[in-house]
Structure 1
């Protein structure tokens, strides 16, 4: 195991990054390389990310019942938040937890999730995730998304214990909402069978990451069952490290989908 993974806390982003490309995982989480936000040619990409961050902040303020800070000229955000108010009305009997973070010790590793919003009803957990990307998301792409797997698994494992509530698997739902395109959310239902499958998927992937040889010094600790580091060349044109890895320019127009874990 790489020494930098000894106290590493996994997330849906890091696990998805490894699935997309183990070499990309190395750049991001072992080498701690990040994009240069000062590049002029990246402006549209970063403006898209900023749009998402700003809207998430507006939603957080709304569900905390504090002023949203929306200016009257921001027509897009006003339109989006109006839709969210209809889709997720605030009710006195519910508990609303915006930007809610949970952690779990799973096997020999730590894993965390940060939810855009968790709504606790009577014996129910409803997870909400706001999507602001310009490309329309589809239901068929969401069921097996790493975000869905990690978020729903941790919702069942952690949230009932933290809040001292009883919640059956069938009463946990994950809602992806893209206000630019949809009136209603895309909802993923849960079950005990899905929960067990998700647990195995997470444990298996974390084990694979732990056994991957990211640096030469890792060979000292890994004698059997080691996994050689590979590069997923099919994903290179969608990767922010394409220039570093292959000497090719990054196509930022196609980068957004991978960032959101599709």
Structure 2
């Protein structure tokens, strides 16, 4: 066990970072380097992140039955209409916005923070709001780290917290790309996916935890042009459009 990662809390973002580039993982999570530019090229990127966070807060207030106010942008109003038309509030269901689930895996933890979880008597729906404009394939969505981690924790943690025995095929994850879609993309779970995810997550955490980050860590050169540390590693400018396309949702 690498002592620097003892009791480390893993997330879909940290696992995906290691998958993209072990050196990037070292910079972010071992060396705690927060590499951020303040220049014209990066401003749209960071403004996009800020806008996404503000909209997530708006959704949290709505599903907690807190007034969202009237002073919101036209774009946010249109997105909220889409969500309200798609998700009809049902008093018999449990709505958990900005919900965090965590599980212990040996000496470490794995966590996920959900935009929204809807629990019915025999189903769990995971909702994720996407505010970026780019599209992606169903295959990419199904295999992304966020899907793997979020659905695994829904099966392992959420149903146990609520003392439920939900058929695994009734667990689903719905990605709602509000800028480009009028309805969500739904990924269904299965026992085969669950077993594959469990093995994948546990093996990755074990491998990362035992890696010697004090030795020379190889960088993934194929990922450099997508990475915020490109300037640090290669003295090359960053293409923030590419970073937006490659990054998964924040933790």
User: Does TM-score exceed 0.5, indicating one fold?
Assistant: yes
Which category describes the TM-score, using the shorter chain as reference length? over 0.9
Size of the alignment, in residue pairs?
249
User: What 5-or-longer segments of structure 2 have no aligned partner?
Assistant: none
1:170 corresponding residue in structure 2:
169
1:189 maps onto 2:188 in alignment: yes
2:230 corresponding residue in structure 1:
242
SS of the residue 2:76 aligns to: helix
In the TM superposition, residue 143 of structure 1 has moved relative to its aligned partner by 1.0
1:106 corresponding residue in structure 2:
105
SS of the residue 2:143 aligns to: coil
2:90 corresponding residue in structure 1:
91
String of CA shifts for 1:53-95, please: whole Å, max 9, x gaps.
01111111110110113415x1100000100111111111110
Q: 1:69, 1:8 → 2: CA distance?
A: 39
Contact persistence 2:7–2:107 (CA under 8 A): no
SS of the residue 1:98 aligns to: strand
1:6 corresponding residue in structure 2:
6
Contact persistence 1:58–1:69 (CA under 8 A): no
Contact persistence 2:6–2:107 (CA under 8 A): no
SS of the residue 1:143 aligns to: helix
1:229 corresponding residue in structure 2:
217
TM-score with structure 1 setting the length: 0.91
1:253 corresponding residue in structure 2:
241
Q: 2:19, 2:138 → 1: CA distance?
A: 20
TM-score with structure 2 setting the length: 0.95
User: What 5-or-longer segments of structure 1 have no aligned partner?
Assistant: 217-227
2:42 corresponding residue in structure 1:
42
Contact persistence 1:101–1:112 (CA under 8 A): yes
Q: 1:105, 1:38 → 2: CA distance?
A: 38
Q: 1:170, 1:151 → 2: CA distance?
A: 15
